[in-house]
Structure 1
């Protein structure tokens, strides 16, 4: 009986130790996701912002005022600096080219097949609501009439929010040149922000739609 009891106690102790070890591993992974990924993203944003400033400074004043066709950026490079006052006076993120996990770990990303900032069409941007700096953590606070400022090299664009909506992850039509109208010809410059909903889940997508209302020469990033 004692021998049987010892076996039971040994098994129970082993199981408990395994559970504790597993819990520690899960906790460390959670710490990485919530904290360390934020640190890495913040460092990437500093580098991206420095690169963006250098690009802006390298453009001659005459070119900044001219209406020239924008150059498509390389994957992972900074496209523009986005500011949304509704999310705070210090809310400012460099948008990178691309929306893979690697690119979104550095900040919000532009969908490569969408328009560039200020262009006629739909400037599509994706970003995290949790982990990796959580740029769109509180994007659900954005309301119709709010402004979104996008500073590209040579120009600063002001968009105004038209509407927000929650859709299924399969609703790719929100990124059409004219959202949800696959056969329509775009005549306006628009912006569409895509992020997960709820904040710590991915069963839905939260969408912010806006349209361009002002273009100014120069950048302020």
Structure 2
């Protein structure tokens, strides 16, 4: 009896020590988890900084260099001369090779007025590095049909960040080696990503042959989301010969 009664306090005395060890282990695990979460948080902040700021810095630099190279290739345009708008048959540039930069786009209503236009809509090869991309198979500038382009609203230079500012009648100007093509906004709409008929040769009417010269801008919507697409349609107004100066739409724009 004495032995049995004396053993019980011994077991009870061991319990606080065991609980203490478990508490220290739990506290250590929580500390490690906290450090991991802090590290992950810091990495997330760095990633967001890279995604939202640094990609813009790099894209702006690269796109300015692309435009400079185009100007060297094309020769200077006389920005002091306002060319007479023409409504005769416009010249149509040759079909560009994939990823080739073949023009620039001016949107006077945007903070960033001028960006390069390249062939294709690959993220890695075009949209993330060169500016806006031309949907292969759609019309070329000045051609009957739908000249359709895509671009980012945020990150990588944000060429279409302010697409929702465009109003009916606003000009969008495409410059190539030989000409300026002036389109005027007709409508804006928000669609699902699957609604690809917006870039059909007759927008919204797939299979209907084109009878007009149109242009379409497409960008993700809302900002920082790819849930929908913001669409702007524009109709060809006129063109000017690059050798004659700049179109009236660019009179108050730095060219």
Fold shared by both chains (TM-score > 0.5): yes
Question: How many pairs were matched up?
Answer: 213
Q: In structure 2, which of residues 142, 156, 160 is the aligned counterpart of residue 136 of structure 1?
A: 160
Q: Deviations over 1:84-103 (max 9, x none)?
A: 11223x51111111111121
1:147 and 2:165 matched: no
Q: Distance in 2 between matches of 1:189 and 1:158?
A: 11
> Which has the higher Rg, Structure 1 or Structure 2?
2
SS of the equivalent of 1:213 reads strand
Q: Which runs of 4+ in 1 moved over 4 A?
A: 66-69
SS of the equivalent of 1:86 reads coil
For 2:151, the equivalent position in structure 1 comes to 127
Q: Deviations over 1:121-145 (max 9, x none)?
A: 1110100011101111111111111
- TM-score, reference length from structure 1: 0.91
Q: Which consecutive unaligned segments of at least 5 residues does structure 2 have?
A: 1-18, 77-88, 247-254
Q: Deviations over 1:67-106 (max 9, x none)?
A: 6552122222212111111223x51111111111121012
1:97 and 2:119 matched: yes
SS of the equivalent of 2:75 reads helix
* Root-mean-square deviation (Å): 1.8
Judged with a 3 Å threshold, the aligned counterparts in structure 2 of structure 1 residues 133 and 180 are, in CA distance, closer, same or farther, namely same
For 1:41, the equivalent position in structure 2 comes to 59
SS of the equivalent of 1:170 reads coil
Q: In structure 1, which of residues 71, 81, 90 is the aligned counterpart of residue 104 of structure 2?
A: 81
For 2:85, the equivalent position in structure 1 comes to none
Does the CA-based 8 Å contact 2:171-2:182 persist in structure 1? Answer: yes
1:165 and 2:189 matched: yes
For 1:175, the equivalent position in structure 2 comes to 199
Q: Which consecutive unaligned segments of at least 5 residues does structure 1 have?
A: 59-65
Q: CA deviation at 1:187?
A: 1.9
